[in-house]
Amino acid sequence: MKNQNMSDILLPLSSEQLNNLKQLESTCTNIQSAWLSGYFWKIANQRSDTKSLTINQSNKSNQVITIISASQTGNAKSLSERLHEYFNKNNKISRLINASDYKFKKIKDEKILILIISTQGEGEPPEEALSLYKFIMSKNAPNLSNLYYSIFGLGDTSYNLFCQAGKDFDKRFKELGGNSLLDRFDSDIEYEDNYNKWSQDLLNSIDNKEINSKNSLLSSGKEDRTKFSKSYYTKKNPAKAIILTNQKITGRNSEKDIRHIEIDITNLNINYIPGDAVGVWYKNNIDLVKNMLELLSINMFDTIKIKNDLITIVDALQNNFELTTNTKNIVKNYAIITNNKFLKNIISNDANLQNYTIQTPLIKMINDYPSKLSSEQLISLLRPLTPRLYSISSSQAETQDEIHITVGVVKNLISGRLYLGGASGYLAESLKPDDTIKIFIETNNNFRLPVDQNTPIIMIGSGTGIAPFRSFMQQRDNDGSNGKNWIFFGNPNFTEDFLYQTEWQQYVKKGLITNMHLAWSRDQEHKVYVQDRIRENGKEIWSWIEEGAEIYVCGNASKMAKDVEKALLDIITKNSGLNIEDSHEFLNNLRVNKRYKRDVY
């Protein structure tokens, strides 16, 4: 607001309101002014969000069931939508809401709450559920003795803290007096059967519970169905698009292999918004498949049944199963099937098993300890292949019938042989121009540009984390936005790893990018990262925050994103006069007010 004319801002106020505001303004420090700005912004949004539920007179005795979706890759969102429709078909009044839109301080008014939540990183809740998580875990969390709840957790057993986010919420709800409708269900990536049973049991449990219906129609937030907009193309029904370009954009001597890939979506009627991701169904490398079969003495022409279809084992491994990620269950089962003494010793100690799983890809384990297996035994070990999500690095306003993605190729040298990541290797090496690719759009309403095009934004990313910010700048350029733009970007070397360098230079030249600070970790003896550049510019960053800037972070959740958050907390503490505890609260308020947004993986 600093550079705006005061009369332009205050036109909607009466003379008395204007005088009162000026008197208050004259007594406020900078930090108090910043706090008031966020306070009134939040009040305005709460008022605009207030909606009464329209419910048939005949249903007034029923409880309103609140379904909260807390998703990382879209699975929790999809299941939440299905549960919402399932309840409606069975004459239950339910409302569906994204965790980031939930007015969490009103959770004390809920009677029936269903949470479908994924886990990311090191046992953490998904980004969109962080504010709810922090509130529930805080000393300010309310008594929930009037609440009946159920939790369906989504996770991956290859991680040590499997479904930890769901477990944390379950434990805390119980501590706060909550009553479990149905025991928490923790599901691996093969969740379909588990979900079907859980949803049926949940409906039965709700039918059988005698819950006091008083105040049953209290609403603790809005039901915004637009947040769950559907596309004709989905994970189960992907579009068939065409590859236009597959270009390496890191230098010859770079330690990274990063590809710029352009996808033609002409005539597919696909729409996307900057911040969205594209889901890619990939195929496993044929050489990897053949090598695995050879090590396990399995005939390539063996046939097996997949979903009532009889196909060759080669086709099954290429298209239906995950081959590049090892898990504790795979190691355990392989040790038992092969009766391998070394592996049996590993699985006897959980810590050793966890370390071995992290450090040893599936193909390396098989290469080190080959054994004769049947096709059925091999399939019994494996998990189903799932699509990979990539942040879209283009704006449809500029590229029209194209989607651009920025892909870092995963490479592992195992026993003198190079193996690529499943999806990244497929995108980098298997696809050429004119090839077909199966895709779908995964919306990400928690990583959007500000509605007000005058709002300044700060974008922080490293490596392929720069991808969504390319789409942001294309969009702001096409919109003619006047908001200031500041980019922090880090990678190993300036000459080898400056992704989209000429584009950024053009944006700087035309004035679209106000500031750009770069961190090249390997270009000097002392390593420099984006968080270092952030601290160096702390005073100016704070002034942007006071002006209402929105902050975006994209990149690795366990490393870069955590270090960046520490740097932001240091800046807030140093420049606001707040202590570290209040700085945490300040940053969380930015998150709640959609001014601090992260797309981390």
Task: State yes or no: 514 annotated in a binding site.
Answer: no
Task: Give the HSE-up count for residue 588: Cα atoms under 13 Å, Cβ half-sphere.
Answer: 15
Q: Is 563 flagged in the annotation as binding?
A: yes
527 is in an annotated binding site: yes
Using alpha carbons, select from 38, 428, 125, 105 the residue that is nearest to residue 247.
428
> Residue 399 is encoded by which pair of tokens?
């590229």
| Annotated binding-site residue? 52 | no
Query: 601 labelled as ligand-binding?
Result: yes
**Does the annotation list 158 as a binding residue?**
yes
Q: Using only C-alpha atoms, what is the Rg of the chain?
A: 26
Is 120 a known ligand-binding residue?
yes
Helix H or strand E encompassing 306: strand 303-306
Q: 99 labelled as ligand-binding?
A: no
220 is in an annotated binding site: no
CB-based burial label for 267 (10 Å; 0-12, 13-18, 19+): exposed
Is 121 annotated to bind a ligand? Reply is yes
Is 73 annotated as a binding-site member? yes
Q: Is 157 annotated as a binding residue?
A: yes
* 34 assigned binding-site residue: no
Tell whether 154 is in a known binding site: yes
Q: Is 407 annotated as a binding residue?
A: yes
Cα torsion through 580, 558, 386, 249, rounded to 10 = 110
> Known binder of ligand: residue 391?
yes
Q: Is 118 annotated as a binding residue?
A: yes
Q: Flag whether 448 is marked binding.
A: no
Residue 139: partners with Cβ closer than 8 Å, 6 or more residues away: none
Residue 405's contacts (CB-CB under 8 Å, 6 or more residues apart) are 260, 261, 263, 278, 280, 390, 391, 392, 393, 427, 467
> Which segments of 324-392 does DSSP mark as H helices, in order?
328-338, 341-347, 350-359, 362-368, 375-381
Q: Is 528 annotated as a binding residue?
A: yes
Binding residue per annotation — 177?
A: no
68, 165 Cβ separation under 8 angstroms: no
- Residue 389 labelled as part of a binding site: yes
Whose tokens are 């490479």? That residue is: 411
Tabulate helix, strand, coil % of the chain (nearest 5): 45, 20, 35
**Residue 160 assigned to a binding site:** yes
**SS3 track for 84-145:** HHHHHHCCCEEEEEEHHHCCHHHHHHCCEEEEEEECECCCECCHHHHHHHHHHHCCCCCCCC
| Dihedral angle over CA of 87, 88, 93, 97, nearest 10 | 80
Q: Is 530 annotated as a binding residue?
A: yes
335 is in an annotated binding site: no
Q: Is 423 annotated as a binding residue?
A: yes
138 is in an annotated binding site: no
Residue 254 assigned to a binding site: no
Residue 408 assigned ligand-binding role: yes
267 marked ligand binding residue: no
SS3 364: helix
Query: How far is residue 28's CA from residue 24's CA, in Å, rounded to a whole number?
Result: 7
- On whether 390 is known to bind a ligand per the annotation, the reply is yes
Check whether 507 is labelled as a binding-site residue: no
Annotated binding-site residue? 351: no
Phi, psi at residue 256, to the nearest 5°?
-115, 150
Q: Annotation-wise, does 424 bind a ligand? A: yes
Residue 242 forms beta bridges with which residues?
264, 436
- For residues 46-83, one letter each, b for 16 or more C-beta atoms within 10 angstroms of the residue's C-beta and e for the rest, the string is eeeeeeeeeeeeeeeebbbbbbbbbbbbbbbbbbbbeb
Give the orientation angle of helix 192-208 with respect to helix 75-89, to 10 degrees.
40
Known binding residues are 71-76, 118-121, 154-163, 324, 358, 388-391, 406-408, 421-424, 521-522, 527-531, 563, 601
Known binding residues for FMN are 71-76, 118-121, 154-163
Known binding residues for FAD are 324, 358, 388-391, 406-408, 421-424, 601
Known binding residues for NADP(+) are 521-522, 527-531, 563
